[in-house]
Every structure is written in C-alpha cells, then in structure tokens.
C-alpha cells in the first residue's frame, strides 16, 4: 500500500486530522524539508565563533582594554545568560526535558563559557587562589554539572567532564612516585573509572538516564587512550594489551546490545591501532611486510565497517 493511500485511509478512519495528513504527505513527498538539525549546527558554530572571538580579543587587547573593562564585560555576559536561563528554564525533571526554545541550550553553554573565561582571567591576572588555583576546576565541574542536570543540557555536561579531567590531571601530577607518562596513564584510567561509575549510578537511579552516552563516551576514550599508551611503551608483554582487548570487546558487545554503531567504531578503531602496533613492532622494519599488512588490514577493516553498518541498520 502506498503511503498516500495509507494516509487517506487514516483520515477516513479519523485516526488523523486532515491537516495532519496533509503535513505528513508533504513531508513524505519532500515538499517540506525539515532543517531543525541544520539550524542547531549553525547556532552551535556561531556560538563557538563568538566565544573564540571573545577569547582572542581578551588575550590580544587586555592591556589596552584594562582589567576592569574585561572583567566587567565577561561578568555581564555570563550573568545575562544565567539570568535568561533562570527566568525561561523549565522545571526540573529526572527524565528528558524539552528546551523552551532552540537557542536555550546554547545560551546556557554561552554563560558557562564566559564564566570560565572570567574566572581564568581573574586567576591569570591576580592569582587569587594561589597554589590552590587548580581547585577552581573542581568548582567549575560542580557548577557545570549542577546546571547540566538542572536544565538537561548535554553540552554543559561535556564542559563539566572536561573540567573534571583537567582537575584529575593537575591533582595527580603532584604524586611524585610516578613518572610523567606513568601518572598520565594512571590519571586517565582513574578518571575513566570515576566517570563510568558516576554515569552508571545516574542511569541506575533514573536521573537523566539519557546522559549515559556522554558519560560513557568520555570513559571509553580516556581508558582506551591510556591503555594504548601502555601498549606503545611495554608492547604485548604487559597487562595493557589484554586490558585494551577486553575494553574493545566490552565496547563492541555494548554496541550490539544498545544498537549504537559508533560504539562499534570505537572498539574497532582502538583495537586496530593496538593490534597494528604490536604486529608492526614484531615485523621489525620489514617495509614490504608492513606495507602489505596495512593494505590488507585496512581493506578488511573498511569491508567490516560496511558490513556491520548494514547489519546495524537492519536490526529491529
């Protein structure tokens, strides 16, 4: 049965109103093309340009503008954005909350970005926090996290997790028993475990369950990068290689369970890099063998990605 005939029967059966049937028919025949996602991308790109321009202006012209002008401008922008969000924001809900307007989420992100620039400028110019300046990152994490949960904003949650990653790095850098590369791996693995646990707890408690992908993305990338760094240093004869293999297998299993193809790409990408490094190291500068391996393996990976993408699309 054709779509137009089905819509007509639904109208006759009073399942759809005539106006709804016409709208669906226009969408089906592409007389109306939705541009919601395109507008969101343009808003995000425009906002990033504004933030980057403000940062460049402060960095380049702060001497001529003066501290008072810079601090006042950044504070007013952040305060105006937060005031708008408080006045227009919807009530709190443990589940997904629709934004009151398309620009709402980006205005909140704008306010958080200008708040971060304001605090960073104050610390750079006046050193108010002294040796404890890194704890400003923890304060930012708590503030951005609270705003993300209050107003259901994934962009701001990403800012919170980025600030937490920076705080982890600077805090653990004081642990003198680790060399730089060793503490970096340790901090990345610890950060990944903390983020994954927090995301899992939020999901189990049914508080913003739809944020789980954000938590999981940060955890997977930090964990796999740290394990790859260990493989690069200690090769296959270390605990890093089996841990990387286990992480990739678990990520692939979750991709199949959740039917999200990008997790499968993560598993294949990190797994391929780790295995390729071990194989190339074993070949010991045999240029022909290395070239042959990369040609064959890359073609196999591309073919696998193509087949798996079709499988994911066919999943019910």
The Cα–Cα gap between 149 and 172 comes to 27
Lowest mean pLDDT among 114-118, 197-201, 248-252: 114-118
> Phi and psi for 155 in degrees, rounded to 5?
-60, -45
Name the pLDDT band for 49 (thresholds 50, 70, 90): confident
The whole-number pLDDT of residue 267 equals 94
The Cα–Cα gap between 89 and 148 comes to 12
pLDDT beyond 80 at 1: no
23-45 mean pLDDT: 55
| Tokens read off for 283 | 């070949």
Q: Does the residue 28 lie in any domain? A: yes
Number of domains the chain contains: 1
| Range of the structural domain that residue 28 is part of | 1-33
Q: Does the residue 8 lie in any domain? A: yes
C-alpha angle 69-74-76 in degrees, rounded to nearest 5: 95
- DSSP assigned state of 92: P
Q: Does the residue 54 lie in any domain? A: no
Lowest mean pLDDT among 11-25, 92-106, 108-122: 11-25
Instruction: Work out the mean pLDDT of the chain and round it to a whole number.
Output: 81
Q: Does the residue 142 lie in any domain? A: no
Q: Which of 158, 277, 280 is closest to 221 using CA atoms?
A: 158
pLDDT beyond 70 at 187: yes
Burial class for 195, CB neighbours closer than 10 Å (0-12, 13-18, 19+): buried
Q: Does the residue 97 lie in any domain? A: no
The Cα–Cα gap between 265 and 298 comes to 14
Query: Tokens 């790095």 sit at which residue?
Result: 169
Digit-coded pLDDT (tens) for 292-310: 888 999 999 999 998 888 8
Name the pLDDT band for 180 (thresholds 50, 70, 90): very low
The whole-number pLDDT of residue 33 equals 47
Q: Does the residue 145 lie in any domain? A: no
The Cα–Cα gap between 315 and 158 comes to 30
Count the alpha carbons within 13 Å of 279 in the hemisphere toward its beta carbon: 14
Q: Most distant CA pair in the chain: distance in Å?
A: 76
pLDDT beyond 60 at 136: yes
| Tokens read off for 182 | 């060793």
The Cα–Cα gap between 169 and 184 comes to 7
Give the 3-state secondary structure of residue 98: coil
Instruction: State the CB neighbour count (10 A cutoff) for residue 259.
Output: 12
Q: Does the residue 220 lie in any domain? A: no
pTM of the model: 0.79
- DSSP assigned state of 101: S
- Per DSSP, helices labelled H in the chain are 3-12, 18-28, 36-65, 67-88, 104-126, 135-151, 154-172, 180-204, 212-234, 240-258, 261-283, 287-314
121-146 mean pLDDT: 79
Burial class for 95, CB neighbours closer than 10 Å (0-12, 13-18, 19+): exposed
């Amino acid at each position: 049965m054709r779509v137009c005939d089905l819509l007509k029967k639904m109208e006759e059966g009073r399942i759809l109103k005539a106006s709804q049937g016409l709208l669906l028919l226009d969408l089906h025949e592409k007389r109306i093309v939705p541009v919601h996602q395109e507008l969101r991308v343009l808003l995000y790109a425009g906002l990033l340009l504004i933030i980057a321009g403000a940062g460049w202006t402060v960095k380049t012209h702060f001497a001529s503008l003066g501290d008072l002008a810079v601090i006042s401008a950044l504070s007013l922008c952040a305060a105006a954005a937060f005031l708008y969000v408080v006045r227009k924001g919807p009530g709190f809900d443990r589940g997904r909350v629709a934004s009151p307007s398309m620009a709402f989420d980006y205005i909140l992100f704008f306010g958080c970005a200008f708040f971060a620039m304001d605090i960073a400028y104050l610390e750079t110019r006046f050193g108010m926090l002294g040796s404890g300046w890194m704890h400003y990152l923890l304060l930012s994490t708590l503030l951005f996290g609270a705003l993300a949960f209050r107003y259901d904003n994934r962009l701001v949650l990403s800012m919170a997790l980025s600030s937490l990653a920076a705080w982890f790095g600077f805090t653990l850098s004081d642990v003198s028993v680790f060399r730089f590369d060793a503490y970096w791996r340790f901090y990345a693995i610890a950060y990944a475990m903390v983020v994954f646990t927090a995301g899992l707890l939020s999901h189990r408690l049914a508080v913003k369950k739809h944020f789980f992908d954000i938590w999981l993305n940060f955890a997977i990338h930090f964990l796999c990068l740290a394990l790859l760094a260990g493989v690069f240093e200690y090769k296959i004869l270390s605990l890093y290689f089996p841990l990387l293999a286990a992480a990739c297998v678990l990520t692939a299993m979750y991709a199949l369970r959740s039917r999200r193809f990008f997790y499968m790409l993560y598993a294949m990408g990190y797994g391929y890099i780790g295995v390729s490094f071990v194989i190339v190291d074993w070949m010991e500068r045999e240029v022909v063998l290395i070239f042959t391996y990369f040609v064959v393996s890359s073609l196999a990976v591309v073919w696998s990605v193509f087949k798996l993408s079709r499988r994911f699309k066919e999943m019910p």
